[in-house]
A and B are shown apart, each in its own frame.
Chain A
Amino acid sequence: QVQLQQWGAGLLKPSETLSLTCAVYGGSFSGYYWSWIRQPPGKGLEWIGEINHSGSTNYNPSLKSRVTISVDTSKNQFSLKLSSVTAADTAVYYCARALTIFGVVTRYYMDVWGKGTTVTVSS
């Protein structure tokens, strides 16, 4: 049974860099994309980006200039960095496993999710 365990700083000041890590336990790390999704208080889900075991990434265009997702295959972990945070980045951040087949018709779904990390940006 695959499980995702995530951690990182929960309180940041404006202009700081958000840093979260997600560890994958109990399953294969290759063959999937590993994603980050966030949810502001009382709002819906927003996809941040993803990475596969080879380091290939895709990012949300609206966040791309501030986001870096990296992978450490030796530890089965992947990480998120979001720079220059503001109050608008306050949210619960989730990591998730994505099954993806890109093509003329793309299959994409997230079948395993972490429990979420609450990140608050406040001066």
Chain B
Amino acid sequence: QSVLTQPPSVSAAPGQKVTISCSGSSSNIGNNYVSWYQQLPGTAPKLLIYDNNKRPSGIPDRFSGSKSGTSATLGITGLQTGDEADYYCGTWDSSLSAVVFGTGTKVTVL
């Protein structure tokens, strides 16, 4: 059902880096801004990145976002155990006139 495709899971050791991809189309990522959300177990999603690459106040610079064409990427450096969570990308889809989310990616710290 999700319009945006993410890898189901990524993992790395503490202190390492992970990247999460989000693939869409010209009607969503290709022509609109992307946001990223972190969902810790049993909690509501939290905004991590907005406008493709901006961090809200309080979000450490270990988290970064980028966009190229119809894909977006979330990067997490200096991985910590507290980063274990599900991560979702989101954007507006101009064809659907609706918000669409990615399929979600579970980050595991080994």
Q: Which residues of A line the B interface, CB within 8 A?
A: 35, 37, 44-47, 50, 58-62, 94, 98-100, 102, 104-111, 113-116
Contact = CB atoms under 8 A, between A and B. Distances in A.
A45 B101 contact: yes
Interface of B: 1-2, 31-33, 35, 37, 43-47, 50-51, 56, 88, 90-92, 94, 96-104
Contacts of A116: 44
Main secondary structure of the interface of A (DSSP, over half): strand
A106 B32 contact: yes
Contact of A108 (B2, B32, B102): B32
Contact of B51 (A60, A94, A109): A109
B96 A108 contact: no
A37 B98 CA distance: 12
B17 to A, nearest CB: 24
Given A44-B2, A47-B101, A108 B35 contact: yes
